Chains A and B, each alone.
Chain A
Amino acid sequence: QVQLEQSGAEVKKPGASVKVSCKVSGYTLSELSIHWVRQAPGKGLEWMGGLDREDDESIFAQKFQGRVTMTEDIATDTAYMQLSSLRSEDTAVYYCTTPETGTWYFDYWGQGTLVTVSS
C-alpha cells in the first residue's frame, strides 16, 4: 500500500518560488511515477506534470513549461515539485499522486498542500 505524505501549507509573495515535497512510504520512490495535480479554490483538477518512469523523464503540461521543476531524492523516497514566478492564479491545493505499479490510473494521492500567493 502506497502512502504519500506532503509538506505543509505555504504562503508566498508574487514572483517567488515554492517547493512542495511528497514523501513515499510502502514502496520505494524508484518504483513509482509521481505526478502533480493542482486545484484552485472552487475549481477543477489540473494535471501539471509527472515522471515517465520508462524514460526517467519529466513531462509537463504546456501551461507550466519553463516554470515547474520536478525532482526526486531516491535516498529519502521524497519527490519535489517547485513552481517559480508565482502569481495570484497559482493559489491552489497541490497534490502529488501516483498510479500503482503497472497501471496508469492515479490510485494513490497525498493529502494536498495549500499554496497561497498573496502580496
Chain B
Amino acid sequence: DIQLTQSPSFLSASVGDSVTITCRASQDILRYLAWYQQKPGKAPNLLIYAASTLQGGVPSRFSGSGSGTEFTLTISSLQPEDFASYYCQQVDSYPRVTFGQGTRLEIK
C-alpha cells in the first residue's frame, strides 16, 4: 500500500502568515494527490486535486505543487477561517486510496 507522510503534524501561525505543509509518498504517485481541509465537527472539504488544481470556490491563497513523491500545500496570507486540519490523499491506486496523518493548523 502507498503510504503518505505529512509534516509537520502541528503548525502554529498568525493571521497574515504564509505556511507550507509537506506530503511525501512512499512511491511515485505522479500528480495523483489531493488536499482536504477539515474543521471541527465537519466533513472534509476538497481544496486541491491533481496536485495543483484548485477546486471551484477555493480561495487563490491556497496553492499546491509537486509531483512524484513530494508535494506541498501553501496557504499565503492566512485568514481566521483557515485554521483547521489539512490532509493529503493519494488516488494513484484508486479505488484503493490513502490519507496522510494530517496537519493541525492553529492560531499563534
- A106 and B46 contacting across the interface, CB-CB below 8 Å: yes
- A112 and B43 contacting across the interface, CB-CB below 8 Å: yes
Q: What does the 1/0 interface line of B77-108 toward A look like (CB < 8 Å)?
A: 00000000001010100111111111000000
A100 to B88, CA, bound (A): 18
- B87 and A45 contacting across the interface, CB-CB below 8 Å: yes
Could you say which residues of chain A place their CB within 8 Å of the CB of B43? 95, 97, 109-112
Could you say which residues of chain A place their CB within 8 Å of the CB of B100? 44
Contact residues, A70-116 vs B (CB, 8 A):
95, 97, 103-107, 109-112
Could you say which residues of chain B place their CB within 8 Å of the CB of A33? 95
Could you say which residues of chain B place their CB within 8 Å of the CB of A62? 1
Q: DSSP majority for the B interface?
A: loop
Q: What does the 1/0 interface line of A15-42 toward B look like (CB < 8 Å)?
A: 0000000000000000001010100000
- B91 and A105 contacting across the interface, CB-CB below 8 Å: yes
A33 to B91, CA, bound (A): 14
Q: DSSP majority for the A interface?
A: strand
Q: How far is the CB of A71 from the nearest CB of chain B, in Å?
A: 16
- B55 and A106 contacting across the interface, CB-CB below 8 Å: no
Nearest first, the 6 closest Cβ-Cβ pairs linking A and B are: A109-B43, A104-B91, A44-B102, A105-B49, A104-B94, A45-B99
Binding site for A on B (CB under 8 A): 1, 32, 34, 36, 38, 43-46, 49-50, 55, 87, 89, 91, 94-102
23 A-B contacts (beta carbon < 8 Å): A35-B95, A45-B44, A45-B99, A45-B102, A46-B99, A47-B96, A47-B99, A50-B95, A50-B97, A59-B95, A59-B96, A61-B96, A104-B91, A104-B94, A104-B95, A104-B97, A105-B49, A105-B89, A106-B34, A106-B44, A107-B46, A109-B43, A112-B43
With contacts A47-B96, A105-B89, A106-B34 known, what are 10 further pairs, Cβ within 8 A? A33-B95, A35-B95, A44-B102, A45-B89, A59-B96, A95-B44, A103-B49, A104-B91, A104-B94, A106-B89
Binding site for B on A (CB under 8 A): 33, 35, 37, 44-47, 50-52, 59, 61-62, 95, 97, 103-107, 109-112
